């Protein structure tokens, strides 16, 4: 019987398989490293794109914040201008109020009454004058109440006075001016 020593062949086979395994592991490790590098590069590119998008959005947000601040300032100016315009309109309307009040007084005053003074304080008008009789004062008050502009006439006082042997009454009254 012949004995063949298979140990060197087995050892050679083991070395070759070990080299193949090492080569496979190194190829796998190299491939894994290359794959990880590509993933890292891809993630880096997408992160840089996202960062640039975030920077762009932050720039837009800051410009919109500036615009919003400017708009708020304009709204404040608008409110101030509207307030000033309203004041000017009220002042302009007040200019014509006096003419309309005098026009209403002319139509409401009977022929037998002479007005001595007319004084306006806000929406209240104080009048003093002379009348031939108390009925003339009563008629004057009724005419004021019929007016669309004048209202709430109040007789404050009537004084009897003799003037050139004629009896006349001096009266004091006030009324409110309605909205025009």
3-state DSSP of the chain: CCCCCCHHHHHHHHHHHHHHHHHHHHHHHHHHHHHHHHHHHHHHHHHHHHHHHHHHHHHHHHHHHHHHHHHHHHHHHHHHHHHHHHHHHHHHHHHHHHHHHHHHHHHHCCCCEEEEEEEEECCEEEEEEEECCHHHHHHHHHHHHHCCCEEEEEEEEEEEEEECCEEEEEEEEEEEECCC
Mean pLDDT estimate for the chain: 87
pLDDT of 164: 63
Residue 165 pLDDT? 57
What topology is assigned to 109-177 in CATH?
Answer: Gyrase A; domain 2 (3.30.1360)
pTM to 2 decimal places: 0.49
Least trusted range by pLDDT, from 42-46, 59-63, 89-93, 163-167? 163-167
Average pLDDT over residues 76-80: 94
Residues 143-151 have a mean pLDDT of 87
Instruction: Give the pLDDT mean for 142-166.
Output: 82
Mean pLDDT value across residues 73-94: 88
**Res 30: pLDDT:** 93
pLDDT on residue 6: 62
pLDDT digits (tens, 9 = 90+) for 113-132: 888 898 988 788 899 998 88
pLDDT at position 108 is 87
* Whole-number pLDDT of residue 105: 87
Inform me whether the pLDDT recorded for 166 exceeds 70: no
The pLDDT of residue 150 is above 80: yes
- Is the pLDDT higher at 44 or at 165? 44
Please write the tens of the pLDDT for every residue from 4-46.
766 677 788 889 999 999 999 999 999 999 999 999 999 999 9
């Amino acid at each position: 019987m012949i004995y063949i020593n298979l140990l060197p062949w087995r050892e050679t086979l083991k070395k070759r398989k070990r080299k193949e395994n090492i080569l496979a592991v190194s190829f796998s490790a190299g491939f894994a490293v290359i794959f990880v590098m590509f993933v890292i590069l891809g993630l880096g590119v997408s992160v840089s794109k996202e960062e640039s998008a975030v920077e762009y959005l932050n720039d837009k947000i800051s410009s919109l914040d500036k615009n919003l601040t400017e708009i708020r300032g304009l709204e404040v100016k608008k409110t101030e201008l509207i307030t000033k315009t309203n004041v000017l309109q009220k002042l302009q309307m007040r200019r014509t109020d006096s003419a309309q009040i005098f026009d209403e007084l002319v139509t409401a005053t009977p022929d037998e009454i002479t007005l001595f003074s007319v004084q306006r304080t806000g929406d209240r008008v104080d009048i003093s004058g002379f009348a031939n009789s108390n009925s003339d004062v009563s008629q004057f008050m009724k005419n004021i109440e019929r007016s669309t502009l004048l209202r709430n006439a109040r007789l404050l006082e009537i004084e009897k006075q003799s003037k050139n042997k004629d009896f006349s009454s001096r009266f004091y009254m006030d009324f409110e001016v309605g909205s025009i």
